[in-house]
Amino acid sequence: MKYKFGFIGCGNMGGALAQAVVKSVRPLEIIALCDANIERAAALAESFGCSVATLAQIAADCEYIFLGVKPQGFAGLFEEIAPILKARKDRFVLISMAAGVSIAAIEKMCGVSAPVIRIMPNTPVSVGEGMILYTANDAVSDCDIDVFLHALSKAGKLDEIAEDKIDAASALSGCGPAFVYLFAEALADGAVECGLARDKANLYAAQTLLGAATLLLESGKHPGELKDAVCSPGGTTIAGVHALEESAFRSASMNAVTAAYEKTLKLKK
């Protein structure tokens, strides 16, 4: 059976992307899932209303193949699927979400001049508010990109970026959710220290972050301008901003992104 989309690896990210494709594409029978954990693939397939397939079936039959395998597992994966891909007479597109694995490396492991789209998503794709960075090699056609963008349109925002910038961008958008959750927890902790109940503090912190992010995106204004609009002269907010600056908040935030980027570069060696 021929499938339009196949997913090799259905962990947190692969499963979330598969769910997004399910929301965008009909009929569901054109989507197939494969995972080393057979029970997990079967459970997701039942939940999504799509099919379970073997690794060989996806490599042989799917037009768009999402590679949801950890970077350290790529060599072993291609040892299994490269001969199948080489034997194909029809067109297929590989879509990789592995951090630090370049398109050139994928082309080499594949052994054929296949179209390759490299993506870096983040965990909010699971609720349709993800940030997905993507780049592609010259073998990817405009039609391929159109299909790809439509398939992931329910996952969040997609933005094309040059491959030599994707690691730096991913240090922000890919790792950033963890930094934001840490900030949200700290905000809630501060409110709890001031006497607020934990459930209320968590709710107010989360909604405040959501509202601030939405305003930033929809207004198109610089973050500093929006910050200034909240800081009344001699008021409570500027006192809080001062406290953050005394603790080197912006410097610590910048250091978090650059540390994540530098770690990515080390993993590529």
* Residue extents of the structural domains in the chain: 3-167, 176-268
* Residues β-bridged to residue 118: 96, 135
pLDDT band, very low/low/confident/very high, at 21 (cuts 50, 70, 90):
very high
pLDDT at 15 over 70: yes
* pLDDT class of 266 with cuts at 50, 70, 90: confident
Query: Which pLDDT value is given to residue 267?
Result: 76
Give the per-residue pLDDT at 205. Answer: 98
Percent of the chain at pLDDT above 70? 98
Report whether pLDDT(27) > 80: no
Mean pLDDT of 224-251: 97
- Mean pLDDT calculated for residue range 220-243: 97
Say if domain 176-268 classifies as CATH 1.10.3730.10: yes
User: 3-167, which class in CATH?
Assistant: alpha beta
**Whether pLDDT at 28 is above 80:** no
* 19-23 average pLDDT score: 93
119 beta partners: 134
Whether the domain at 3-167 and the domain at 176-268 fall into the same CATH topology: no
Question: 166: Cβ–Cβ under 8 A, 6 or more apart, which residues?
Answer: 118, 120, 133, 135
pLDDT, greater one: 79 or 28: 79
Asked if 125 contacts 100 with a C-beta cutoff of 8 angstroms, the reply is: no
